Amino acid sequence: MTLPVAIAGLGSYLPANVVTNDDLAKEIETSDEWIRTRTGIRQRHVVAQDEATSDLAASASKAALADAGLGIEDISAIVVATTTPDHPVPGAAPLTAAALGTEVAAFDVNAACSGFIYGLRVGGAMAATGDGAVLVVGAETLTRVVDPQDRSVRVLFGDGAGAVVLVPDDTASLGPFDLGADGTNPSMLWTAAGGTRTPVTDVQLEERSNFLTMRGGDVYRNAVVRMTASAQAVLDRSGQTVDDVDLFVGHQANVRIIDAVGQRLHMPAERCHITVDRHANTSAASIPLALADARAAGRLEPGATVLLAAFGAGLTWGACLLTWNPTAGDRGANR
Ligand code: UT7
């Protein structure tokens, strides 16, 4: 099933502060060589002291609105995909809406690193069924939820946000989608304490279980299997093959995962867009950030068929196809 929905605008925001692998090696026992060879990451953007997720989401949203040639008054709902809201309660979306100056429906989607694809599915359905233009944002501040002393996790993550404006358009197609979740083994990638099962007390602070932890090898293997299967499922559902795909934008966690998924799909490496070297893993923000990066690099031509695939904590996974900007000429400001 595809949705009659087009992406009318795309925007992104990266905090100004860039932290290199060598910078981290001054604080924890790691090295540029280890990080680069294991993950492909060279640097990451890190929020300023006074920045949080809704600030990043609002900045990316403003850029997406400007790109679409629309104002906030044209938007009927805001979906923020995030696993790192400003506060445990409320979600980041109402705060983002307030920063943008609107009182429309605003809610978070928490599907970890797969969140942006889940957000496209939900926001796309709203746009297709009478809600008009919907902002879908992926925004994260992962550097605030990792243990600064835990080298196995700290080096992997960065902060940032990307946003799209979805508009109803009978000539466009968003999808098909494939979404899935397996919650039987959440400790593979989780924050053990700080929720309703294990509130934070001195014990958790002592154990440092209020920080994100991951069994990297297990996550890696699951990511490759699930992302490949999900991407293949949407290709099969659409009756298309890898040859029809102009650009593959996978969740940017580790360049080796993207390479392995690309190889299993028989996707030529030059059609796989990579940003993890510069952005590190920005969870739900990584795909819209990579789309914006691909367009800036001239890799996202109007009419291009784009395949998205992601995997994250939960476990969750998802993939979808979209046609890039098929009616750009009708929307003035859009490129
Ligand atoms: O976005 C959600 C999805 N997340 C992911 O997709 C991440 C998936 N996992 C991965 O990308 C990889 O598993 C990692 C990059 C996290 C780890 O790579 P790995 O090749 O699986 O390494 P490892 O965890 O097996 O660690 C190898 C060694 C260990 O030392 P010993 O036990 O072999 O002596 C670690 O202690 O590397 C050590 N190590 C480090 N050394 C230097 C772990 N982190 C670091 C570090 N610097 N930052």
Instruction: Give the CATH number for residue 286.
Output: 3.40.47.10
Q: How far is the CA of 261 from the centre of ligand 1 (A)?
A: 19
- The residue segments making up the domain with residue 243 are 1-335
Q: How far is the CA of 87 from the centre of ligand 1 (A)?
A: 29
11-31 mean pLDDT? 98
Q: What is the mean pLDDT of the chain?
A: 96
332 pLDDT more than 60: no
The response to whether residue 253 sits with its C-beta less than 6 Å from ligand 1 reads yes
Instruction: Calculate what percentage of the chain has a pLDDT beyond 90.
Output: 96
Closest among 287, 322, 292 to 305, alpha carbons compared: 322
Indicate which residue's Cα is closest to atom 24 of ligand 1.
Answer: 216
The response to whether residue 155 sits with its C-beta less than 6 Å from ligand 1 reads yes
Domain count within the chain: 1
Indicate which residue's Cα is closest to atom 30 of ligand 1.
Answer: 152
Residue from 36, 38, 261, 282 whose mutation best tests the ligand 1 pocket (most atoms within 8 A of CB): 38
The response to whether residue 281 sits with its C-beta less than 6 Å from ligand 1 reads yes
Indicate which residue's Cα is closest to atom 8 of ligand 1.
Answer: 220
215-236 mean pLDDT? 97
Give the angle 138-307-126 at the CA atoms, nearest 5°. 50
The response to whether residue 219 sits with its C-beta less than 6 Å from ligand 1 reads yes
In the chain, what are the helix, strand and coil shares in percent, each to the nearest 5?
40, 25, 35
Q: How far apart are CA 199 and CA 211, in angstroms?
A: 13
79 pLDDT more than 90: yes
pLDDT at 334: 41
Q: How far apart are CA 141 and CA 52, in angstroms?
A: 7
Residue 311 is encoded by which pair of tokens?
A: 């995997």
List active site positions. 113, 251, 281
Scored b (16 or more CB within 10 A) or e, 48-66 reads: eeebbbbbbbbbbbbbbbe
Residue from 21, 146, 152, 311 whose mutation best tests the ligand 1 pocket (most atoms within 8 A of CB): 152
The response to whether residue 286 sits with its C-beta less than 6 Å from ligand 1 reads no
The response to whether residue 107 sits with its C-beta less than 6 Å from ligand 1 reads no
The response to whether residue 34 sits with its C-beta less than 6 Å from ligand 1 reads yes
Instruction: Calculate what percentage of the chain has a pLDDT beyond 70.
Output: 97
| Each residue's pLDDT tens digit, 267-301 | 999 999 999 999 999 999 999 999 999 999 999 98
Q: Which amino acid is at 189?
A: L
pLDDT at 328: 47
The DSSP letter of residue 314 is T
Residue 6 is encoded by which pair of tokens?
A: 């087009």
98-106 mean pLDDT? 98
Residue 281 is encoded by which pair of tokens?
A: 């893993």
pLDDT at 111: 98
Indicate which residue's Cα is closest to atom 43 of ligand 1.
Answer: 152
Burial status of residue 194 (CB atoms within 10 A of its CB: 0-12, 13-18, 19 or more): middle
154-162 mean pLDDT? 98
Neighbours of 72 (CB within 10 A): 16
The response to whether residue 204 sits with its C-beta less than 6 Å from ligand 1 reads no
CB 61 within 8 A of CB 54: no
157-167 mean pLDDT? 98
Burial status of residue 204 (CB atoms within 10 A of its CB: 0-12, 13-18, 19 or more): middle
pLDDT at 327: 57
323-327 mean pLDDT? 75
Q: Hey, is 260 helix, strand or coil?
A: helix
147-155 mean pLDDT? 97
Strand order in the sheet with 247-250: 174-181, 316-323, 305-312, 247-250
Q: How far is the CA of 191 from the centre of ligand 1 (A)?
A: 18
Indicate which residue's Cα is closest to atom 40 of ligand 1.
Answer: 152
The DSSP secondary structure of 190-224, one letter per residue, reads EE-SSSSSS---HHHHHHTTTSEEE-HHHHHHHHH
pLDDT at 325: 77
Lowest mean pLDDT among 69-78, 167-176, 321-330: 321-330
8 pLDDT more than 50: yes
CB 280 within 8 A of CB 158: yes
Shortest-distance atom of ligand 1 to CA 151: 48
Peptide bond into 176 cis (omega under 30): yes
| Each residue's pLDDT tens digit, 305-319 | 999 999 999 999 999
pTM score? 0.96
Q: Hey, is 295 helix, strand or coil?
A: helix
Q: Hey, is 328 helix, strand or coil?
A: helix
Lowest mean pLDDT among 41-50, 234-243, 276-285, 294-303: 294-303
Residue 163 β-bridge partners: 11, 137
